[in-house]
Each structure stands twice: as structure tokens, then as C-alpha cells.
Amino acid sequence: MLSVFDKNKSLGTLDGIVKKFPVDINGPSSNVTIRLTEDGSAWLATPFCIFAVLMIFHGFMYVFTKDKRKPSKTLLLIPLLINSIMTYAYFTYASDLGSTGVPVELTHAGTGIRQVFYSKFIAWFLTWPLVLISFEITSHTSSNTDNETDFVTRVIQLFQNVFIKLVYIEIFIVLFLIGALVETTYKWGYFTFGVCALLFVSYLVCVDVHRSFLSDAPTSKWGNYLVYFTLFIWHLYPISWGLSEGGNVIQPDSEAVFYGILDLINFGIVPTALTWISVRNINEECFRNGVGNGCPCNCRNKELESIPTGQSGDTAVGAYGRYANDETV
């Protein structure tokens, strides 16, 4: 039979195990004074779970989509890859891993060394280009090709159209990462360059969406409006950076909430919605023929062009199957 001392010791050990948090196991070195706490780590489990559910859902959808629906199945890869990467990233973030200590320049939220999570910048670097590709598909800016263009050529044109945006969005992310790791006021130089890169990409996306609204292609207006909304979300990232890694105004817990909400919208909700809008609107026959997504009118015109528009004598046939001599309205 255990003595009272042994019982208390056993209970104390069990209680210590139950109360273990990732910040207690994987926390940074003791010299990091401004750091993620148990509350912040617990909240980060929420976006991790949401991204994980979306990853599993799109994984099942991809596996069980018939191979003959290749365009739709290919589109499902975008949210699957994005949510997979963000799931791994937020598992790392919530586990208090993937960070380093950086001495603060400003002391609004305290003095000393601040914990900076570089893991989220790596996740952005891998996933943000996929968000841009979903924008490209939604606005159909690469679909203005002739009807004889094959699928491979369309893919090349899509890559050319989106390449400059991919380069500058990656520049934006890398500059923000460098700025977060710089200890001196020079970090704001990298911040300024990064914001300029983001504004440039936003301008290019706005031009594409504007052209999409003006084009004859039956693109989704709701999808285009969603792209505009996402651009607004993008410009909240510099604000979050300025309040956290840059200006040291808010604590890492508040930083986690701010970035977590933005990431859920930018990498979770928006790519999923845009992908399913594109899947719903896609016309696979047109896609294979290179006319463009969601273009039944173009296919109809192509069919009409194949119908003979005139014959000899009184039996001439019009484009819609009427006799040329028939004046009936």
C-alpha cells in the first residue's frame, strides 16, 4: 500500500503529464522573453484542425473522382496541396516549433528577444503561388486562344501569364521573412520592398479580373468578386507583420490569432470556393479543345459553323436547319 507521500508523488507526476503543453516541451530557449504561451498554442490547434479536415475532404474527392473527368480532377489538386501544406505548417506552429529568437528593435510589447516563427513563411512560399493559379483559372485570362490550341499549349500560356505574379509574390514573402529576422531598423526597408511587390501583384490580378468582367466568356462573377475580397485580405498581412515581427506591438499569441484568421481565409476558404466554382462552370469538351473553361456558347458556335449554310436550288438550308426561302419568323 502506497504511503501518503507516495500517493501525492504519483498524483503530482500524473498531473504534470496531463498539464504538459507543446510550449513546455518544444519551447524556445530561456532567453526568449516574448514568446508563444499555452493559450496561443491551444488556439493554433483550431486552424490546424480546419486545414486537416479540408485536406482529408479534398483527398477523398480527388481519389474518388473518375479519371475521365480529368480537368475537374486536376483542379482538385489545388486545394488539396494548399490544405496539406498548411496542415503541416500549423501542426508545427501549434507545437511551438519552427521558430527562432530575434532581439526586438521597439519595446511596445516588452524588451528582450521575440520569438519569430519562420515556418509560416515557408508555408506561404509553397502555397501562395497555388492561390494565384486558382485566381488565374477563375478569371480565365489565359483562355483567349484560338479554337485549334491544344491542351499543352494552353498550359504553357497559363504558365507565362502567371509567371511574373508568382515571382513577385515569392519576393514579397522572402523579403518579409528577411525583415522579420533583421534586428535593426533596416527591417523596415525589406518591409517596404515587400509591400511594393505585393502591390504590384495585386495590380496585375486586378487587371486580369477587370478584363474577365469585360470579356464575352461566361466567367463566374461571384468568383471574380471573391478574388477582389481576397486581395483585401492580402493587404492585411503587412499590417499584421508591422504589429508583430516588425513593430513588436502585440504579443505572439495575438499574432497567432491574427495570422491564423488571415490564413484560414486566404489558404482555406478562398481556394476551396474558387476551385468548386471552376469545377461547376467547367465545360470539359471545350477544355480539351482549347476553347476555354465554361464556354458552351463557343462550342455552340463551333457546331453551327459546321452546318452547311447554303445549297443549290430551293432546298437551301440555313444555319438553324430552316430553308433559306422560309421567311417565317
Alpha-carbon 18 to chain mean position: 36
Residue 14 pLDDT level (bands cut at 50, 70, 90): very low
Task: Evaluate if residue 232 carries a pLDDT over 70.
Answer: yes
Residue 68 pLDDT level (bands cut at 50, 70, 90): low
Task: Evaluate if residue 104 carries a pLDDT over 50.
Answer: yes
Residue type for position 261? I
Portion of the chain with pLDDT greater than 70, in percent? 69
Instruction: Compute the distance between CA of residue 199 and CA of residue 247 in angstroms, rounded to an integer.
Output: 21
Helical H segments across 103-150, by residue range: 119-139
Q: What is the pLDDT of residues 238-273, one digit of tens each?
A: 999 999 999 999 999 999 999 999 999 999 999 999
Q: Cell triple for residue 126?
A: 509553397
Average pLDDT, the chain: 79
Residue 26 pLDDT level (bands cut at 50, 70, 90): confident
> What's the pLDDT at 4?
40
Q: What does pTM read for this prediction?
A: 0.76
Q: Which residue has the higher pLDDT, 197 or 108?
A: 197
Helical H segments across 282-320, by residue range: 284-289, 296-305
Most confident of the ranges 65-74, 121-130, 276-285, 293-302: 121-130
Residue 193 pLDDT level (bands cut at 50, 70, 90): very high
Residue 48 pLDDT level (bands cut at 50, 70, 90): very high
> What's the pLDDT at 97?
92
> What's the pLDDT at 67?
61
Q: Which of 176-190, 193-207, 234-248, 299-313 has the lowest mean pLDDT?
A: 299-313
> What's the pLDDT at 161?
76
Cβ atoms of 241 and 191 closer than 8 Å:
yes
> What's the pLDDT at 237?
98
Task: Evaluate if residue 137 carries a pLDDT over 50.
Answer: yes
Contacts of 63 (CB under 8 A, 6+ apart): none
Alpha-carbon 308 to chain mean position: 48
Most confident of the ranges 5-14, 174-183, 211-220, 293-302: 174-183
Task: Evaluate if residue 294 carries a pLDDT over 50.
Answer: no
> What's the pLDDT at 229?
95
Task: Evaluate if residue 188 carries a pLDDT over 60.
Answer: yes
Beta-strand runs (E) in 56-160: 99-103, 113-117
Instruction: Compute the distance between CA of residue 208 and CA of residue 3 in angstroms, rounded to an integer.
Output: 76
**In sequence order, what are the beta bridge partners of 156?**
none
Portion of the chain with pLDDT greater than 90, in percent? 50
